[in-house]
A and B are shown apart, each in its own frame.
Chain A
């Protein structure tokens, strides 16, 4: 079946602008994660959604970052007033409830100029 999809694949924005990144998880996967991968770095957890439970936002770096998940499926990560240090690849992953295996999308490469 189809894997995790993300859009756009690349986004260039000016400092101070808001951006929205989209993630479509694998059908039937109720758990959804956002991670950030900075150049040459490992992956850093941002936020986790599981079903109708309150999201785990413990990894969000500042209040400029927010995410929502509508209808238990598609998720949008929003970064307000972007800064140059926000430049990174934003990765989305999904998994079945209670199952550890996470499957990643191709990521969105964000460049803030």
Chain B
């Protein structure tokens, strides 16, 4: 019940296209859902996050869509650029107690120029 399942494992998108990565969770106690971006040899960097009280959050070219009833959330990258090529991780945590993040397995995104 602690799992977060992420798909696809890898994704290739043409420059200017829309990249979509999906995650699903089981534990209804989760109430914080961040996305992290990781470049090779670097630590994960917080990209954008959402709480279940909203269905969508947008920051620049990055949008999180959240479906509470389906227990799913997704990351959309609009106008994808070669610089977006990285590994993306979704995660989830509870508000109470140790807010340890449970991560998805990651998606390796490649944007072709």
The chain A residues found within 8 Å of chain B, CB to CB, are 4, 31, 33, 35, 41-45, 48, 50, 56, 58-59, 91, 95, 100-107
Q: B13 in the interface, Cβ–Cβ < 8 Å?
A: no
B100 to chain A, nearest CB (A): 4
Contact call A106/B34, Cβ cutoff below 8 A: no
The chain B residues found within 8 Å of chain A, CB to CB, are 6, 32, 34, 36, 41-46, 49, 89, 91, 93, 95, 97-106
Q: What are 7 A-B contacts defined by CB distance under 8 Å?
A: A33-B101, A44-B103, A48-B99, A56-B100, A102-B46, A104-B43, A107-B42
Q: How many Å lie between the Cα of A41 and that of B106 in the bound state?
A: 7
Q: How many Å lie between the Cα of A89 and that of B97 in the bound state?
A: 26
Beyond A50-B98, A100-B34, is A42–B46 a contact (Cβ under 8 Å)? Answer: no
Beyond A102-B46, A106-B43, is A41–B105 a contact (Cβ under 8 Å)? Answer: yes
Q: How many Å lie between the Cα of A105 and that of B89 in the bound state?
A: 16
Beyond A42-B89, A42-B103, A100-B95, is A91–B44 a contact (Cβ under 8 Å)? Answer: yes
Provide the main secondary structure of the chain A interface: strand
Contact call B89/A100, Cβ cutoff below 8 A: no
Beyond A42-B89, A100-B34, A101-B49, is A33–B100 a contact (Cβ under 8 Å)? Answer: yes
* Chain B hits for A33, CB < 8 A: 100-101
Contact call A59/B100, Cβ cutoff below 8 A: yes
* Chain B hits for A42, CB < 8 A: 6, 89, 103-106
